[in-house]
Amino acid sequence: MLVFWKARLVLLSVPKTGTTAYQAALAPHASLVVSDPPELKHAPVYRYNRFFRPMFEKVGAPDMALMAVVREPVDWLGSWYRYRQRPFLDGKPASTAGISFDDFVDAYSTGDPPAFANVGSQAKFVEPRPNGVSVTHLFRYEDQDRIRGFLSDRLGVALDLPQRNVSPRATLELSPGVEAKLHRKCAADFALWDSAGA
């Protein structure tokens, strides 16, 4: 999470959407950089609302805008799948070594996914709160020019984005049945990505 106090902007770090690269590029311009622990670095809207918003309001910023980037759901899951293929996870419950992408997505689409497929939901991450706190600037990961343009204009800085935290390459194919199941079970994630392009 990056907080830009003067610009009244908070960049939420949705996992697997390139925010590590934005954090590396923009940290020198941020008022607050939350890089650890992961539960705070990747604080979703509900956690921001509970912990960070009250603090900002007490010091005079009740109107912080929230920005988030979301990724096409199959591509997002592909990034998680590839990331969990890394050797440092070998033998651990979260490893996807020896598991096909089709089986990974099928497991993800169940009500109670096993550890290797338990990666959360982008729709849940940005879900608005009952008190009205919500993401005000939502972008598609695939539209990097628009993201960079928005940040450059809002923050008054030029952006040079290095690639960070890139997952290894892997074949990502889904059987028609698993793809249909994913669309049915995770309709909110697909609707979110569609809305980000509107």
- pLDDT tens column, 54-65: 999 999 887 899
Q: Is the link from the previous residue into 37 a cis peptide, with omega within 30 of 0?
A: yes
pLDDT(171) > 80: no
The residue ranges of every structural domain in the chain are: 2-196
Percentage of the chain beyond pLDDT 70 is: 94
At the second CATH level, the architecture of 2-196 is 3-Layer(aba) Sandwich (3.40)
pLDDT(3) > 60: yes
Report, as an integer, the average pLDDT of 52-80: 93
- Alpha helix positions (H), 99-186: 101-108, 122-125, 144-155, 176-185
Answer whether 117's CB lies under 8 Å from 85's CB: no
Report, as an integer, the average pLDDT of 82-109: 95
Percentage of the chain beyond pLDDT 90 is: 80
Q: How far apart are CA 79 and CA 63, in angstroms?
A: 33
Output DSSP code: residue 11: E
User: Where do the DSSP E strands lie in 6-64?
Assistant: 9-11, 32-33
**The token pair that represents 26 in the structure block:** 């923009």
pLDDT(36) > 80: yes
Determine which of 22-31, 137-146, 151-160, 166-175 has the lowest per-residue pLDDT on average: 166-175
